Structure 1
């Protein structure tokens, strides 16, 4: 697995987008609509090929026939850093090595961009959504390459879970990234960034 992007979920896209822009002091760029899960997003490029995504249910279209990804159907409270995704090159092989509940491949499209995402039947991921959603991009295609540079760089991404000792062992078998740390504690995630305005956090 390779660290792909961070997700800020919200009950509305405006709230998720505002949460990122206010925290980091950098504007986001328009994204688009996801027909399978009836969501819409906005994006922000990060250094090192990563990006930030603001996402929420799309109120302009009917509800999807299945639960939305990123557990958005049960999202409550203010917009916040809620999920993350890691890229794989062989979805089926990767899923065979993941914890139970990591999901099954779903083909998704946003405009001219198409990819596959592992999504469980209830839209969640293991470890109370702290396990990364798996994403498989086509060769030589990635949304971060289509975004304007912002000068924002992820410095640290921290996951906290009561079973953090189990989570860190499970991740260590698949992900080698010294920006990611795991703690034992209440369920949550946070990220620290270097920005044109100094160090900022989500």
Structure 2
């Protein structure tokens, strides 16, 4: 299971890092932000009908990928909040969320004493998965807590995407209450580092052009 380790008997499994999400006011802006930072081209993605968003993707190897995501301008207002707090997004594109996969999403959601949302069944093309999405669209700790998901299909995007030559070296999760945040996340992964500071995510990658940073 990669970096994941089993929790004590009677609890759910530890989560695993699945992918990172860069948001923008437009998909074009989010894609340009990733491509400028990493020096590689992103691949086509698709649309998420329930949340009125669309994306493009980048394979990172080691079971990971990166997505650029934004509100789809062809979709009107929705009766519920968009995920990843995209209804309120403004400003320059940025690394806004990290997403962890679970082998038992319902159990993991129940075991975390925070409002991480309830599982929602989602599809994109042949892909099927469930993700816990808060009613507000905002995850705990100012979106620094990871979104939780479970794939209901195999293979997943990480194994389908062509390699980009980029691999994740480090994900820095900054928050004023970094210690409390770290204690609340059921994940063991040496690439994830929690630091006290202004709320933000910052990722370092090994790329065909050397070490690059995305934030």
CA RMSD of aligned residues (A): 0.9
Aligned to 2:39: 25
Is contact 1:99-1:126 (8 Å) kept?
no
Residues 1:54 and 2:68 are matched in the alignment: yes
Question: What is the aligned length?
Answer: 200
CA-to-aligned-CA distance 1:76-99 (integer Å, 9 cap, x gap):
110000001000011110001123
State the shift of 1:168 in Å. Answer: 1.5
1:26-45 maps to which residues of 2 (within 5 A)? Answer: 26-45=40-59
Aligned to 2:182: 168
Aligned to 2:80: 66
Distance in 1 (CA, whole Å) between partners of 2:113 and 2:64 is 24
Aligned to 1:6: 20
State the shift of 1:139 in Å. Answer: 4.8
State the shift of 1:141 in Å. Answer: 2.8
Residues 1:182 and 2:182 are matched in the alignment: no
Distance in 1 (CA, whole Å) between partners of 2:155 and 2:113 is 27
Distance in 2 (CA, whole Å) between partners of 1:98 and 1:142 is 25
Is contact 2:129-2:153 (8 Å) kept?
no
TM-score (norm 2): 0.91
State the shift of 1:169 in Å. Answer: 1.4
Distance in 2 (CA, whole Å) between partners of 1:134 and 1:45 is 20
Unaligned runs of 5+ residues in structure 1 are none
CA-to-aligned-CA distance 1:34-65 (integer Å, 9 cap, x gap):
00000000000002010000000000122222
CA-to-aligned-CA distance 1:122-141 (integer Å, 9 cap, x gap):
00111100000001002533
Distance in 1 (CA, whole Å) between partners of 2:204 and 2:165 is 14
Residues 1:117 and 2:108 are matched in the alignment: no
Structure 1 ranges of 4+ moved more than 3 A = none
Unaligned runs of 5+ residues in structure 2 are 1-14
